[in-house]
Structure 1
């Protein structure tokens, strides 16, 4: 690899799904010139153990995340809206005709 191509390495965030039925989880970061190189590097680095089903790589610059400092203003609006929680809904009357 030439010095010029080494300077073109882009950071990528790596997400691995360990088994079927589980969600992808962020496991770390790798560098690569393109997505193919990034996924190969991620495979070599993060799938040595276990039996993963799939790997995602996303350019680090494309990830937007809230910071812990934003917690109170960012998530505070949910507490005053109990209608958003499933326990606030009542089950349908089983004797009602729902075909209308």
Structure 2
């Protein structure tokens, strides 16, 4: 096959990360990745692939190249500075009765 076939073009499409908010959820959750030529096509493909059973109410697609993440190998050094700030720990606060989601 030549280098001009349709699969070659797909390999050049950017990678998109897909997040779906379920009907019962409050947060968008990462559900997977896909390749698409643009945001509109990524959104349509994400709908078709990740919400086939109509379990979602909202979808986000984010270019993977635009995500900056910490490294799991550096977790101790990266998260250690928060250890001495007790106000960041949930045990510091009293949660009012009846509050389900914070």
TM range (shorter): 0.7 to 0.9
Task: Please say if 1:35 is aligned against 2:60.
Answer: no
The C-alpha deviation readout for 1:19-61, integer Å capped at 9, x for no partner, is 2551000000011110011011111110013521010000000
Q: Which has the larger Rg?
A: 1
Mapping of residues 16-95 of structure 1, within 5 Å = 16-19=20-23, 21-85=25-89, 87-88=91-92
RMSD: 2.3
In structure 1, runs of 5+ residues without a counterpart are 91-100
Answer yes or no: is the 8 Å Cα contact 1:5–1:33 preserved in 2: no
TM-score of the superposed pair, with normalisation by structure 2: 0.73
Q: When the two structures are aligned, how many residues end up with a matched partner?
A: 89
Whole-Å Cα distance in 2 between the matches of residues 32 and 12 of structure 1? 7
Whole-Å Cα distance in 2 between the matches of residues 56 and 11 of structure 1? 13
In structure 2, runs of 5+ residues without a counterpart are 95-102
User: What is the match of residue 6 of structure 1?
Assistant: 10
